[in-house]
């Protein structure tokens, strides 16, 4: 005989009142049974998560109809929740906003990623892609599709096209289809990327990909951030935008490498005509140089030197930039999920 699946997972906690909000409020699970000081039962997909107080459940109760045998255990345990690649960045952000420390963000050598945190009882809680165990995931692919790049930025189109070309994807720019640029009203990179890809997919009737990216400068409290393109003005004058950043850095005395730290964020969103959207995020850290160097790349590339490099993104060969850029890192996660 062969076991057909896992029906329940059990972990242990002595203070059920303290642990319940973590699973109910932070993780959003439905508690369908609670016995004071003894047990909590949660539905989770097609499984049940049980949390027992070991001091109560390791002691046998008087036998009778419906009274289970003693089967408690001592010590912290481990539970792993299934999460697709596109969901892990959102879980990380959600957990951090809830004040939950991330113990590890781990990329498995054979492919796949896991996040690890601790619940209030010290149990190890993992969120992982099913493929770390070679389990199936929802089938969706972009291979061989025609894809709208929801952007009017030719430099961004070329970079995305270069990344997609090996997978037989045909790209067309939103402006070439006469699609207007929607107003970017969201306050996060993912929000704006999602807004643009959903708008393009609906208007074109094709799968669409969008990138929202920007430069976040530590000494400027994360500015320009999601407003990176707006700092270049209506004419998209990034020489002006870079000069603006430098003037602000000089004004706050940010003249040493330690005070000129910055990072690029790229959020990629893919939307299909049926409305499903998947998002992927990448980040690269570095230092800002002045004056700008190089004529390759676009946007703020000529003033950004990634960690471990001497050249700015504006000086690098495209292949060298693609190997380390924020967009390439987001794209790797997209490829892992969709190709």
Over residues 153-207, the pLDDT tens digits come to 887 788 888 888 888 888 999 989 999 889 888 989 999 999 999 999 999 999 9
Identify the pLDDT of residue 70.
Answer: 67
247: pLDDT confidence band, cut at 50, 70 and 90?
A: very high
Per-residue pLDDT, averaged over 97-115, amounts to 89
Q: Are 209 and 278 in contact (CB under 8 A)?
A: no
335: pLDDT strictly greater than 80: yes
Range in 84-88, 132-136, 269-273 with the lowest mean pLDDT: 132-136
212 is catalytic: yes
Q: Which CATH architecture has domain 8-133?
A: Roll (3.10)
213: pLDDT strictly greater than 80: yes
The torsion angles phi and psi of 271, rounded to 5 degrees, stand at: -125, 135
312: pLDDT confidence band, cut at 50, 70 and 90?
A: very high
66: pLDDT strictly greater than 60: no
Identify the pLDDT of residue 111.
Answer: 80
Q: Are 41 and 35 in contact (CB under 8 A)?
A: no
User: What angle is formed at CA 297 by the lines to CA 296 and CA 300, rounded to 5 degrees?
Assistant: 115
Per-residue pLDDT, averaged over 265-281, amounts to 90
Catalytic one among 212, 223, 301, 337?
A: 212
Could you give the percent of the chain with pLDDT greater than 70?
93
Q: Are 288 and 249 in contact (CB under 8 A)?
A: yes
Q: Cis omega (within 30 of 0) on the bond before 80?
A: no
Per-residue pLDDT, averaged over 21-48, amounts to 90
Percent composition of the chain: helix, strand, coil (DSSP 3-state, to 5) = 35, 25, 40
Per-residue pLDDT, averaged over 124-145, amounts to 78
Q: Are 231 and 182 in contact (CB under 8 A)?
A: no
| Residue 274 DSSP one-character state | T
Q: Where are the domains of the chain?
A: 8-133, 146-338
Range in 22-26, 137-141, 217-221, 297-301 with the lowest mean pLDDT: 137-141
More confident residue, 3 or 268: 268
Q: Which residues pair with 179 in a beta bridge?
A: none
Cα-to-chain-centroid distance, residue 299:
23
Tell me the residue ranges of DSSP E strands in the chain.
Answer: 8-12, 30-35, 39-44, 47-52, 78-82, 104-107, 113-118, 124-128, 146-149, 170-173, 207-217, 261-271, 277-288, 304-306
Q: What is the mean pLDDT of the chain?
A: 88
- Torsion angle of C-alpha atoms 65, 69, 75, 81, degrees rounded to 10: -60
Identify the pLDDT of residue 297.
Answer: 83
Range in 87-101, 142-156, 280-294 with the lowest mean pLDDT: 142-156
Q: Are 21 and 53 in contact (CB under 8 A)?
A: no
- Domain 146-338 classified CATH 3.90.950.10? yes
C-alpha–C-alpha distance, residues 119 and 103, integer Å:
11
Identify the pLDDT of residue 68.
Answer: 62
Identify the pLDDT of residue 36.
Answer: 85
Identify the pLDDT of residue 306.
Answer: 96
Residue 23: burial class (beta carbons within 10 Å; 0-12, 13-18, 19+):
buried
More confident residue, 287 or 68: 287
């Amino acid at each position: 005989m062969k076991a057909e699946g896992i029906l329940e997972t059990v972990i242990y906690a002595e203070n059920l009142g303290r642990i319940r909000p973590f699973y109910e409020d932070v993780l959003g699970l439905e508690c369908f049974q609670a016995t004071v000081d003894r047990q909590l039962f949660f539905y989770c997909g097609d499984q049940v998560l049980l949390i027992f107080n070991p001091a109560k459940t390791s002691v046998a109760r008087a036998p009778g109809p419906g009274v289970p045998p003693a089967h408690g255990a001592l010590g912290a345990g481990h539970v792993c929740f299934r999460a697709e690649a596109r969901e892990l960045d959102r879980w990380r952000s959600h957990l951090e906003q809830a004040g939950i420390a991330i113990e590890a963000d781990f990329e498995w050598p054979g492919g796949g990623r896991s996040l690890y945190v601790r619940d209030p009882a010290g149990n190890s809680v993992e969120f992982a892609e099913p493929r770390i165990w070679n389990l199936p995931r929802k089938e969706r692919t972009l291979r061989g599709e025609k894809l709208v790049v929801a952007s009017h930025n030719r430099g961004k189109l070329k970079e995305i096209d270069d990344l997609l070309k090996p997978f037989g994807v045909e790209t067309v720019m939103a402006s070439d289809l006469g699609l207007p640029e929607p107003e970017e009203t969201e306050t996060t990179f993912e929000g704006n990327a999602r807004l643009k890809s959903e708008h393009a997919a609906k208007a074109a009737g094709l799968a669409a990909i969008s990138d929202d990216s920007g430069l976040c400068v530590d000494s400027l409290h994360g500015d320009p951030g999601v407003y990176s393109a707006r700092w270049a003005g209506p004419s998209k004058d990034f020489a002006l935008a870079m000069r603006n950043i430098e003037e602000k850095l000089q004004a706050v005395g940010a003249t040493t490498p330690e005070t000129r730290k910055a990072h690029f964020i790229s959020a990629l969103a893919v939307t299909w005509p049926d409305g499903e959207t998947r998002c992927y995020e990448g980040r690269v850290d570095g230092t800002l140089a002045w004056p700008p160097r190089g004529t390759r790349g676009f946007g703020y590339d000529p003033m950004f030197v990634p960690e471990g490099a001497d050249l700015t993104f504006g000086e690098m060969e495209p292949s060298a930039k693609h190997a380390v850029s924020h967009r390439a890192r987001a794209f790797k996660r997209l490829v892992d999920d969709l190709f």
